[in-house]
A = this chain, B = another copy of it.
Amino acid sequence: MASEFTGTGDPARSMALLWRGAAEPGPRPGPRPGLDVDRIVSAAVRLADAEGLVALSMRRVAAELGVGAMTLYTHVPGKGELVDLMLDSALAEMYPDERSVVTGGWRARLEAVARANWDLFLRHPWALHVATGRPPLGPGLMRKYELELRAVDGLGLPEVQMDLLVTVVTGFVRGTVGGVQEKADAERVTGITEDQWWAATEPYVAQVFDAERYPTAARVGPVAGEELGAYDPERSFEFGLVRLLDGIGVLVERPSRG
């Protein structure tokens, strides 16, 4: 459950990998590579999608590709950099239709941003656990940042507020998708469904729970559990998104700004 850490090595090498283009395949000595970075990254993404970051190991990825573990190190400096590459490749898939962020009013645009981020984390749950304090500054991230800024461009906001709005909306999604996604993770890893888990745990809760100490929880918990219990992932996201956008509306449509 610890956060994976990303490329800590040579920034030059990392950037060259992230921006690997149709670079010079000029004839070089040595055998022709049978493997390349793209194949490694996509195998790693496939593995992480299916079994989570915990299952992602260099040996597993190598096995998936039918090569020796150490062969990966010919193409990628280490696991941290591989995760960076995975993340950037996942980000690059976002917004297949770039127009979605410049269509409609600010509200529709920001909603498109929120939903795109939501989809990202549903598609690639492991992305949630990648530390982004020093993000991989690759083409995927650059494109994402550009497109999300476009969603809040032209509203007459100062640049700093544009950046803040994007950060807040994407941050909100990160926070909200977390609790939900981890339930699915838990089910996959433990093989125990949400219902089974609750059925096994509830009797012990009943024993220790003191309704006099926690009257509000005693009143709200069962109702919320009943209505949200079958746990519809979208519910708190949709609810929170409306609140957040309403609040952003107060800023954006402030009369003093005409």
- Using a CB–CB cutoff of 8 Å, the interface residues on chain A facing chain B are 1-6, 8, 11-12, 15-16, 19, 52-54, 56, 80, 83, 126, 128-134, 137, 139, 142-143, 145-146, 149-150, 153, 159-164, 167-168, 170-176, 178-186, 189-190, 194, 197, 200-201, 204-205, 207-209, 213-217, 219-221, 223-224, 227-228, 235-236, 239-240, 242-251
Give the CA-CA distance A80 to B3 in the complex, in Å. 15
A230 to chain B, nearest CB (A): 13
- Seed contacts A163-B224, A243-B251; 7 additional CB < 8 Å A-B pairs: A133-B183, A133-B184, A139-B208, A146-B213, A159-B220, A172-B175, A247-B248
Number of copies of this chain in the oligomer? 2
A85 to chain B, nearest CB (A): 14
Identify whether the interface residues of A are mostly helix, strand, loop, or mixed.
helix
Instruction: Choose from B236, B244, B249 the contact partner of A244 (Cβ within 8 Å).
Output: B244
Say whether A8 contacts B189, CB under 8 Å: yes
12 pairs across A/B with beta carbons < 8 Å?
A1-B83, A5-B189, A133-B182, A133-B185, A137-B204, A139-B208, A142-B217, A167-B176, A167-B179, A168-B176, A246-B251, A247-B248
Instruction: Choose from B130, B167, B175 the contact partner of A1 (Cβ within 8 Å).
Output: B130
Known A11-B201, A142-B214; contact A3-B5, beta-carbon cutoff 8 A: no
Known A52-B2, A153-B216; contact A179-B183, beta-carbon cutoff 8 A: no
Instruction: Choose from B15, B170, B247, B251 the contact partner of A250 (Cβ within 8 Å).
Output: B247
The interface residues of chain B lying within 8 Å CB-to-CB of A6 are 1
The interface residues of chain B lying within 8 Å CB-to-CB of A162 are 220, 224
Say whether A172 contacts B250, CB under 8 Å: no
Say whether B217 contacts A183, CB under 8 Å: no
Give the CA-CA distance A42 to B247 in the complex, in Å. 40
Which 8 residue pairs across A and B have the least CB separation, nearest first?
Answer: A1-B4, A175-B175, A247-B247, A133-B182, A163-B224, A168-B240, A246-B247, A2-B53
